């Protein structure tokens, strides 16, 4: 293969792919590698993709061969593809399909006895290779799920997801050929005009994302995760997917405000009538063809060791689709019930699959693999999300706090630094200087937020704020009656405040990259102007270390942080400088 300096892709022997976004064929190359490579970083000039075992298995499930992958790499690579890399693909991809999950066992030499009427419905796991069957049978993690039967194993239908997850941990992806149920049909279409009479049509990437998850309708399609930045319309992706499936749908989301936002969007942009939609929360527990519930109500139980009484919702109706909003926040108990729901089409929506507990594999194996991803900056350049200017302001600890900080435990050190009282002065000056912006002041510690709310004469929303009061404040903010809201960690979750154009982050959750992405996402709705994301950090404290980790995710998405130092009301350094 000859060297072609004009080609956009650099293929490296560690299975990383570097994409030069300024090269002439960059967009074509991106489309070619997306089926078998995962986007890891997308800063200004070079985007990094990685070919992993999971991405290769996903490609195999979509019908790609090692030869297809090698051809794509050779077509777009600037330099010769490293020798031997394709053999590695072959070995990995060959594992896909060697273990199959079937609705019925293949014909055996001797017919199996009919199951007793009261036995649970079963599936059949099989492999052509006796050595693989022996490995499966010897795996301790699988023994409680599987029963040997002829040339394979029987398992209960409700253990379908658990078995798939355990096998992928052992390096064996299952080719799941047991059919998905259709669920009860539901007539639903997207409107050409919204409820206000304004033209409406999903954007091209929203339609592409929904169709990519649907696939060709065969085995191994109809479920997966879509990763799009906040503000890019993931709800529209969900509604578009619903119109492709047309079945009873259960939507799970993070809080009551998000439930109501989904209801408003469905009524505004689809043909559904109010009686077709129900809310299942702490306030109302109705069920309809489209039901929207919170994760919190599903994971509530009267005793720590008791059952989850609201899990019955999953069996209330013949659901054909479950949508997991903010799927990266999926709580462990919902993972458990999701493992039972492998016969139902599943769509996960998120801005980032980063989980600080490392449980991304559970999202992939139980909800589905990542089917669609697009760099944040690409949508910004096309005008679909706002351009954000990220600015970190560093300030000294007051002298009176330096000794208490020095002798405190690490956790207390972090809190002292986070609650630096000088942050209130800076926040007030920023609010005053950005008189045309709608501003969210976001933090972790309630006492700090209460003080800021008093100083700024602004409403405060925390986890204890009643849902009706939250929605009243959100409505006032949307209508321009309130310009500044002080919010706790509830701002990390699905709230729709399209006019928010500035965020001031005064404290956060110990360097959570997931939280950083969610908070920035609150101000990315396109408004025809730049958005501002300020983070206030105490100098020479633990907060600096955690802030660096929080920024890592956004830097990988292509966002630059300008760094400024504050002293006596004056900023120094960075790209803007001057007085606040």
**Domain contains 337:** yes
Q: What is the pLDDT of residues 192-210, one digit of tens each?
A: 998 888 899 999 999 999 9
pLDDT band of 456, cuts 50, 70, 90: very high
Let me know if residue 553 belongs to a domain.
yes
Q: Is the same domain home to 368 and 410?
A: no
Please provide residue 535's backbone torsions phi and psi, each rounded to the nearest 5 degrees. -125, 130
Specify the range with the lowest mean pLDDT, choosing from 5-14, 57-66, 299-308, 447-456: 299-308
Instruction: Say what angle helices 399-407 and 410-418 make with each other, to 10 degrees.
Output: 160
Residues 396 and 531 in one domain: yes
| 11 has pLDDT over 70 | yes
The CATH number assigned to the domain holding 263 equals 3.40.50.300
With tokens 């109302």, the residue in question is 284
Neighbouring residues of 327: CB distance < 8 A, sequence distance ≥ 6: 225, 348, 349, 350, 353, 363, 367
**Of 65, 93, 121, which closes a domain?**
93
Same domain, 77 and 125: no
162 or 271, greater pLDDT: 271
What element of type H or E holds 475?
Answer: helix 467-478
In a domain, 316, yes or no: yes
Are 227 and 341 within one domain? yes
Ranking 127-141, 317-331, 334-348, 468-482 by mean pLDDT, the lowest is 334-348
Pick the residue with more confidence: 309 or 532? 532
> 542-553 pLDDT, tens per residue?
888 877 776 776
Highest mean pLDDT among 138-142, 306-310, 506-510, 513-517: 138-142
Do 544 and 429 sit in the same domain of this protein? yes
Judgement on whether residues 533 and 429 belong to the same structural domain of the protein: yes
CA distances from 419 to 167, 413, 533, 546 (A): 46, 10, 19, 15
User: Does the residue 189 lie in any domain?
Assistant: no
Confidence band, pLDDT 50/70/90 cuts, at residue 114: very low
d(CA 62, CA 36): 9
Question: Is 144's pLDDT higher than 70?
Answer: yes
* Domains: count for the chain: 4
Last residue of a domain, one of 58, 93, 128: 93
| pLDDT band for position 239 (cuts 50, 70, 90) | very high
Same domain, 351 and 410: no
Q: Which domain holds residue 524?
A: 385-579
**289 and 159 fall within a common domain:** no
Strand ranges inside 351-433, DSSP E: 370-373, 388-395
Residues 25 and 38: their CA atoms lie apart, in Å, by 19
DSSP per position, 107-151: PPSSPPPPPPTTSPPEEEEEES-HHHHHHHHH-GGGTTTEEE-SS
Distance CA 360, CA 403 (A): 41
Shared domain check, 235 and 316: yes
Whether 295 and 341 map to the same domain: the answer is yes
Sheet holding 223-227, edge to edge: 277-280, 290-294, 249-253, 321-325, 345-350, 223-227, 370-373
Are 239 and 476 in contact, with CB atoms under 8 Å apart? no
Q: Do 389 and 367 fall into the same domain? A: no
Q: 14 and 76: one domain?
A: yes
d(CA 523, CA 508): 17
This prediction has a pTM of: 0.74
Q: Considering the domain boundaries, does residue 159 fall inside one?
A: yes
> What gap in Å lies between CA 97 and CA 56, rounded to an integer?
12
Taking 80 as the threshold, does the pLDDT of residue 531 lie above it?
Answer: yes
CA atoms within 13 A on the CB side of 283: 12
Q: Is residue 504 part of a domain?
A: yes
Domain closes at, from 59, 93, 127: 93
Helix (H, G, I), strand (E, B) or coil at 336: helix
Residue at 488 is within a domain: yes
User: Within 13 Å of residue 65, how many CA atoms lie on the same side as its CB?
Assistant: 3
Identify the band that residue 339 occupies on the pLDDT scale cut at 50, 70 and 90: low
- State residue 116's pLDDT score: 40
Looking at residue 182, its pLDDT comes to: 84
pLDDT tens digits, 458-499: 999 998 888 889 889 988 988 889 999 999 877 666 566 767
Is 470 contained in some domain? yes
């Amino acid at each position: 293969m000859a060297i072609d300096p004009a080609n956009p892709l650099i293929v490296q022997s560690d299975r990383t792919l570097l994409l030069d976004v300024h090269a002439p064929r960059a967009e074509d190359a991106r489309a070619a590698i997306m089926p078998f490579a995962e986007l890891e970083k997308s800063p200004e000039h070079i985007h990094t993709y990685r070919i992993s075992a999971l991405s290769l298995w996903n490609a195999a499930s979509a019908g790609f061969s090692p030869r297809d992958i090698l051809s794509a790499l050779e077509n777009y690579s600037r330099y010769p593809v490293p020798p031997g890399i394709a053999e590695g693909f072959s070995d990995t991809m060959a594992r896909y399909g060697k273990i199959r999950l079937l609705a019925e066992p293949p014909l055996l030499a001797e017919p199996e006895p009919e199951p007793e009427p009261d036995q649970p419905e079963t599936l059949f796991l099989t492999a052509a290779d006796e050595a693989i069957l022996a490995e499966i049978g010897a795996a301790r993690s699988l023994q409680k799920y599987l029963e040997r039967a002829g040339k394979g194993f029987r398992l209960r239908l409700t253990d379908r997801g658990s078995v798939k997850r355990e096998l992928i941990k052992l390096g064996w992806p299952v080719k799941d050929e047991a059919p998905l149920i259709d669920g009860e049909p539901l007539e639903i279409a997207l409107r050409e005009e919204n409820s206000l009479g304004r033209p409406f049509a999903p954007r091209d990437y929203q339609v592409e994302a929904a169709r990519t998850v649907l696939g060709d309708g065969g085995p191994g399609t109809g479920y997966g995760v879509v990763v799009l930045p906040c503000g890019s319309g993931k709800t529209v992706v969900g509604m578009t997917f619903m119109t492709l499936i047309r079945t009873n749908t259960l939507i799970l989301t993070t809080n009551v405000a998000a439930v109501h936002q989904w209801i408003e969007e469905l009524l505004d942009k689809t043909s559904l009538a109010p009686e077709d939609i129900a809310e299942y929360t702490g306030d109302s527990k109705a069920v309809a063809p489209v039901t929207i519930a919170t994760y919190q109500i599903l994971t509530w139980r009267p005793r720590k060791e008791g059952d989850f009484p609201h899990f019955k919702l999953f069996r209330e109706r013949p659901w054909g689709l479950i949508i997991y909003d903010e799927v990266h926040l999926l709580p462990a108990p919902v993972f458990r019930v999701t493992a039972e729901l492998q016969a139902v089409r599943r769509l996960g929506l998120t801005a980032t699959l980063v989980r600080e507990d490392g449980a991304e594999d559970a999202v992939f194996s139980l909800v589905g693999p990542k089917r669609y991803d697009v760099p944040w900056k690409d949508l910004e350049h096309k005008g679909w999300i706002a351009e954000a200017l990220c600015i970190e302001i560093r300030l000294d600890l007051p002298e009176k706090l330096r000794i208490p900080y020095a002798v405190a435990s690490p956790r207390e050190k972090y809190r002292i630094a986070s609650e630096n009282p000088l942050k209130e002065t800076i926040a007030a000056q920023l609010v005053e200087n950005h008189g045309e912006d709608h501003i969210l002041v976001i933090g972790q510690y309630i006492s700090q937020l209460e003080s800021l709310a008093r100083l700024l004469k602004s409403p405060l929303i925390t986890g204890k704020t009643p849902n009706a009061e939250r929605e009243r404040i959100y409505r006032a903010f949307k209508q321009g009656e309130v310009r500044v809201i002080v919010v706790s960690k509830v701002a990390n979750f699905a709230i729709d405040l399209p006019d928010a154009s500035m965020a001031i982050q005064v404290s956060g959750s110990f360097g959570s990259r997931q939280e950083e992405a969610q908070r920035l996402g609150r101000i990315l709705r396109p408004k025809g102007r730049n958005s501002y994301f300020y983070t206030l950090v105490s100098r020479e404290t633990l907060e600096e270390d955690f802030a660096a980790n929080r920024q890592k995710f956004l830097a990988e998405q292509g966002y630059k942080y300008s760094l400024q130092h504050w002293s006596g009301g004056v900023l120094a350094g960075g790209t803007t400088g001057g007085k606040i």
